[in-house]
Chains A and B, each alone.
Chain A
Amino acid sequence: MRFFHNTKIRFMEYRWHWIIASTVLNLVAIGLIFFGPGLKLGVDFAGGTQLTLKFKSEPDLKRVRKALEALGLGDVTIQRFDEASAHQILVHMQNPKGQEGDYTSRMIAALEKEFGGAQAIEINLEGSDALRDTLAQADPDKAGGTVDERRAHYKAMADAILGLRKQVGVVTGPDQLAGLAALSPATRAYLAQNAHFGDFAVLAADNVGPVVGKDLRQKAIYAVSFSLLGMLIYIWFRFKLQYGIGAIVANFHDTLITLGALVVTQRPIDLPTIAALLTLVGYSTNDTVVIFDRIRERLKLERGKPLITVMDEAINATLSRTIITSGLTWAVVLALFIFGGDVINTFAFVLVIGIVVGTYSSIYIASPIALGMSNWIEKRKSAARRRR
C-alpha cells in the first residue's frame, strides 16, 4: 500500500497565495489577541485562587457567585468544567490587589456556609482524620475505652468513606454509604441521622499569589525564547541562516494561529498549555527539518538545478512521510481530545490545531522563506560579482 507516491505537485509555484492566506490568518490572530477578546490567562499566569468544585446536582451559579462576592475580595468568574452531567465548575477569584495569602480556605468556608448544613459532620469536605475523630467522639458503636482505642475502632470506617469520595467525587446521600461494608450498622445509622451530605466537594484548589505569578510568567517567557534561539542556532549551524530563520518564522506562525484558536474558544493559558505549545513547536520543527534535510541532499546531488525545483522535488519526495507521520500523530491527539477527559482537553486541542498548522507551515512558510532569502542573497552576490 502506498499513498502519495511519486507525486509531482509544484508546491512553490503557488507559494504567494498561501503566504498571503497565512499572513491574513496571522493578522486575524494578532487582532484577536491584542485588539479582540485577548488571551485568557489561567490561574498560573493571572494569579488568584481557583477552585474546582463538584456538585451533587445542577449547581446554582448565582448562589455560588453571591456567596463569594460577599467576601468582598476580588472579581469572581465561574465556568463550567467537563460535561454538564458531571456538575463540575471552576471558580476563579482574583486576590485583592497585590496581596499574598491563603484565600482558598476563606472561599471554601464561604461556600460551606452557603451550601453546607448545620450539622458538624460535612461528609464531602472533612478529611479522614477529622471524620475519625468525630465518630470517636460520638461513638455510635458504644466501643468505649480511651480516645485512642475508639479512634482505632473508627479509623477504617473513616478511610472507607474517604475512599468512596475519591471514587465518586461527591457523596450524594446516605444511601451511597449503604454500600460500604466497612461501616457498622450503628455508624451508618448515626451518619444518616447526623451527617450532612453537602452540595459540593472540592476537587482541586490552586492559589497563585502575585510574586509566584510574575515568576512563572517570566520563566515561561525565558524558557520559550531561549529554546527557540537554541533551535535557530542549531539549524543555522547544520544548514544555513536562512533555513533557521524560515523554521523559526514557521514556529511563530503556528503558535500565533494556535493562540488565535485559544482566544476564539476562550480556553485559559496555563503552564500545561505552554507545554502543549512547546510540543507543537517541536513537531513543526521536526517536519521542517525533514524537508530541509532532503533539500540539502538534493542540492548536493544535482548542482545547478534552480533551488525552487529542488525544493519542489524535496517536498514531493518527503510528502508521503509527512502525511503518514502527521496523520498518525494527529490521530493520537484526536483520540486524546475526544476521550482524554477535561484535564487534558486544552492540551489536546492545542495539538489538534497545531499539528495541522505545523505540517502546512513546513511546506508553505519555512520553505518559501528559505527560498526567498536564498534567492535574494544569490542576487546580491551576482550583482557584486558583476560590479567587480
Chain B
Amino acid sequence: MQRKLTWRWALIAAVTAAAVFFMLPLDKRIHLGLDLKGGIHLVLQVNTGDAVRAEVDDAMERVRGDLTAKGFAPTTLQRLPDGNGFLLKPAANTSAQELNKVIDDRLPEFNVNRGVEITATLKADVARNIRDMAVRQGLETIRNRIDQFGVSEPVIQRQGLEGNRIVVQLPGVDDPGRVKDLISSTAFLEIKPVVSVAPTQEALLAASGGKAPEDSEVLSGDIEDIEGRVSGKEYYLVKRASVISGRDLRNARRSQDSYGQPAVSFTLNPEGAKKFDAYTAAHIGDRMAIVLDNKVRSAPSIRGRISDSGIIEGNFTVQGAEDLALVLRAGALPASITYLEERTVGPSLGRDSINRGITAGIVGLVLVAVFMLVYYKGAGINANVALVLNAVLLLGAIGALGATLTLPGIAGVILTIGMAVDSNVLVFERIREELELGKTVRNAISLGFSRAFGTIIDTHVTTIVSALFLFQFGTGPIKGFAVTLTVGLLISMFTSVFVSRTIFETELSRRAQAKTLSI
C-alpha cells in the first residue's frame, strides 16, 4: 500500500514538473492569439487567373512575332473571354504549312483546334500547374517581404494544399494599412522605351490615328512639381516589350536623388546588365519609362551607357522609398491579390480584454475554492489542490503542444474547470452517501470513487467525442476551443480520479483506523 502510494506521488510529481517546465516562462511558452495580443490576421486570394492570362499573352506574342517575321501577320489574334486561350484568324496569304509549323513549335502547351479560325486553349494540367506555381510563388514572395519587414513570429501559409488562399498572421503590427500595401503591391517593375509623351491621351494618339500601334501601349504617370507634389497627369506611348523587368534585378535599396529627395536605386544581375548595357548604348538621347505596376514612375533621358544600376525617382517619402526597395528586393508577385478577410486587433483592446477576463476568472475561481472549503471542509482542500494542479497541467500542455490561447480557447478552459469541479463534487457526494449508509471510511472512499468513476468517464468522453468533431470540422476559433477542451478534459480526468484519490489514500494511510472523514 505504502509503496503504491509512493509510486503515485512520484508520477504526479513528474507530470507536474513536466508541466511547469513547459509553461515557464509564461510569456514565451503560452502563445496568445491575435484576439488577445493584438495584431493582424489576413486571408488573401492569389488571383491565379492573372498568371494564366500572362502565359496566354506570352504565347500570343510569340505566335504573332513568328508569323509577322514570315510575312503572314494574322488578321485577328485575341484572347478568349475566359482567359484560358486565344483565337487566331490567319491572314488570307498565310501558308497552311508554315502556320502549322509555328503552332507546333510555339504552342506545345496548348490544345489547338485547327480550322479556318484557330482556337488554342491551355492544356488543363498545364493551367493547373501555372495556378499552383502562382500561389507558391506568391507565398514565397510574401514571406520574403514580411521577413525583410521584420515581424516576430509571423505565420504565412497556404490554406489547404490545393487552394489559392494564403493566411498571414502578424502579431503586434501597429500599422495595418502599411503592411497590407506592402503585401499586396504587385511590384512589377519594367523599363520600356518611350515613343512619345503628351498631356492628354488624344494628343498622344493623334499621330498614330487615334489608336496605339500593335507593338505599343499607353501608360500614364503623375507630374510632380519641385516639392514633390502631384500637379497633374501625363501620358506616355511606350513599346510593349520591356528592356528589362523586375526579374533582372539583383538588389534595390533606398537612396537619394540629386536633390536629396528619397529615391530607390537598384542594381541588375549579369544577364539584365548585358541587356541594359546594349540597349542604353544604342539609344543615347532617347527616353525610357520606368514603369511600376503599369504606372510610369519617371521617364529619364538616356544620357550615356548604363550597365548594371539605375535609380527610380519620384514622389517618395523615406518610408515609401524603403517599402518599394523592399518589395523590389523580395520580388514581384506573379498575380494580383485580393483580401478576403482581415482581422486587426489593436493591442489596447487585446490587453484590456486579457486584464478584465483574468480578473473575472480569478474572482470566479476564488469563489469556487472558498465554497469547496466551506461545504466539504477537509475534502475541499483536496478538491482545490486538484483544481490548481488542473490549471498548471493545462498551461503546461498548451505550452508543450505549442497551441495558441484565444478567447474561445479560454471558453474551453472554463468548461474544463467546470467539469473538473463537477467530478470532485460527484465523488464527494458519493462518498457522503456511502458514509450515510454506514460504510467505514475506507470503504466509503473506495466505493465513492469507483461508483463516480463511470459517471466521470461518461461525461468526459461524451464531451471529448463532440470536441473531436469540432476540431475536425471547425475553423480557427472553434478549433481553438476544441483543442483546449479536449486537452483540458483529459487532464481533468487525471486530476479528479487519480490525484484526488491519491490524496485521500495518503490521508487514510496516516490514520489507519480512521473513524471519521472531514467531508
Cβ contact within 8 Å between B348 and A166: yes
Give the Cβ gap from B327 to chain A, nearest Cβ, in Å: 15
In the complex, chain B residues whose CB is within 8 Å of the CB of A208 = 341
Cβ contact within 8 Å between A222 and B473: yes
A-B contact count (CB 8 A): 273
Give the Cβ gap from B86 to chain A, nearest Cβ, in Å: 27
A-facing residues in B447-465 (Cβ within 8 Å): 451, 454-455, 458-459, 461-463, 465
In the complex, chain A residues whose CB is within 8 Å of the CB of B352 = 169, 341, 343
Cβ contact within 8 Å between B469 and A226: yes
A-facing residues in B153-195 (Cβ within 8 Å): 173-178, 180, 184
Contact of B411 with A by CB under 8 A: yes
Q: Which of B108-116, B242-250, B362-370 has 4 or more CB atoms under 8 Å from chain A?
A: B362-370
Cβ contact within 8 Å between B465 and A344: no
Q: Given that A231-B465, A290-B459 are known contacts, is A2 also in contact with B348, CB under 8 Å in the complex? A: no
Q: Given that A205-B342, A340-B357 are known contacts, is A275 also in contact with B363, CB under 8 Å in the complex? A: no
Contact of A339 with B by CB under 8 A: yes
Cβ contact within 8 Å between B367 and A105: no
Cβ contact within 8 Å between A133 and B317: yes
In the complex, chain A residues whose CB is within 8 Å of the CB of B347 = 166
CA distance A329 to B422 in the complex (A): 9
Cβ contact within 8 Å between A332 and B349: no
A-facing residues in B466-491 (Cβ within 8 Å): 466-470, 472-478, 481, 485
Which residue of chain A has the shortest Cβ distance to B38 in the bound complex? A166
Which residue of chain B has the shortest Cβ distance to A270 in the bound complex? B477
Contact of B45 with A by CB under 8 A: yes
In the complex, chain B residues whose CB is within 8 Å of the CB of A101 = 338-339
CA distance A248 to B10 in the complex (A): 42
Cβ contact within 8 Å between A328 and B348: no
Contact of A168 with B by CB under 8 A: yes
B-facing residues in A1-50 (Cβ within 8 Å): 1-2
Which residue of chain A has the shortest Cβ distance to B418 in the bound complex? A329
Cβ contact within 8 Å between B340 and A234: no
Cβ contact within 8 Å between A289 and B175: no
Among A279, A340, A351, the residue within 8 A (CB) of B360 is A340
Cβ contact within 8 Å between A102 and B348: no
B-facing residues in A304-355 (Cβ within 8 Å): 317-318, 320-321, 324-325, 328-329, 331-336, 338-341, 343-344, 347, 351
Which residue of chain A has the shortest Cβ distance to B426 in the bound complex? A321
Contact of A149 with B by CB under 8 A: no
Cβ contact within 8 Å between A289 and B340: no
Among B364, B433, B466, the residue within 8 A (CB) of A282 is B466
Among B262, B340, B344, the residue within 8 A (CB) of A209 is B340
Which residue of chain B has the shortest Cβ distance to A220 in the bound complex? B478
Q: Given that A215-B475, A282-B485 are known contacts, is A238 also in contact with B458, CB under 8 Å in the complex? A: yes
Cβ contact within 8 Å between B425 and A231: no
What DSSP secondary structure best describes chain A's contact surface?
Answer: helix
Cβ contact within 8 Å between B374 and A1: yes
Q: Given that A329-B421, A339-B360 are known contacts, is A227 also in contact with B469, CB under 8 Å in the complex? A: yes
Cβ contact within 8 Å between B481 and A226: no
Cβ contact within 8 Å between B349 and A216: no
Q: Given that A1-B375, A100-B340 are known contacts, is A130 also in contact with B175, CB under 8 Å in the complex? A: yes
Contact of A165 with B by CB under 8 A: yes
Which residue of chain A has the shortest Cβ distance to B467 in the bound complex? A227
CA distance A254 to B481 in the complex (A): 20
In the complex, chain A residues whose CB is within 8 Å of the CB of B45 = 100, 211
Among A126, A204, A336, A344, the residue within 8 A (CB) of B364 is A336
Contact of B267 with A by CB under 8 A: no
Contact of B21 with A by CB under 8 A: no
Cβ contact within 8 Å between B466 and A281: yes
In the complex, chain A residues whose CB is within 8 Å of the CB of B103 = none
Contact of A136 with B by CB under 8 A: yes
Cβ contact within 8 Å between B458 and A293: yes
Give the Cβ gap from B493 to chain A, nearest Cβ, in Å: 13
Contact of A84 with B by CB under 8 A: no
Contact of A129 with B by CB under 8 A: yes
Q: Given that A100-B339, A238-B458 are known contacts, is A271 also in contact with B476, CB under 8 Å in the complex? A: yes
Which residue of chain B has the shortest Cβ distance to A211 in the bound complex? B340
In the complex, chain A residues whose CB is within 8 Å of the CB of B433 = 317
CA distance A295 to B414 in the complex (A): 28
Q: Given that A128-B175, A167-B348, A293-B455 are known contacts, is A285 also in contact with B470, CB under 8 Å in the complex? A: no
In the complex, chain B residues whose CB is within 8 Å of the CB of A220 = 474-475, 478
CA distance A130 to B322 in the complex (A): 12
Which residue of chain B has the shortest Cβ distance to A108 in the bound complex? B177
Contact of A187 with B by CB under 8 A: no
Contact of B85 with A by CB under 8 A: no
Give the Cβ gap from A372 to chain B, nearest Cβ, in Å: 22
In the complex, chain B residues whose CB is within 8 Å of the CB of A216 = 475
Q: Given that A137-B318, A281-B466 are known contacts, is A335 also in contact with B458, CB under 8 Å in the complex? A: no
A-B contact pairs, 12 of them (CB 8 A): A203-B345, A275-B412, A275-B478, A278-B466, A282-B419, A289-B455, A289-B459, A325-B421, A331-B368, A332-B368, A344-B353, A344-B357
Q: Which residues of A contact B (CB under 8 A)?
A: 1-2, 52, 54, 100-102, 104-105, 108, 126-130, 133, 136-137, 147, 162, 165-169, 201-209, 211-212, 215-216, 219-220, 222-224, 226-231, 233-235, 238, 271-272, 274-276, 278-279, 281-283, 285-286, 289-290, 292-294, 297, 317-318, 320-321, 324-325, 328-329, 331-336, 338-341, 343-344, 347, 351
Given A169-B349, A204-B349, A227-B473, 7 further pairs, Cβ under 8 A: A127-B173, A169-B348, A202-B344, A231-B462, A271-B477, A297-B454, A333-B364
Chain A to chain B: the 10 pairs with minimum beta-carbon distance, closest first: A127-B175, A341-B356, A332-B364, A275-B408, A227-B466, A343-B353, A340-B360, A223-B473, A227-B469, A335-B364
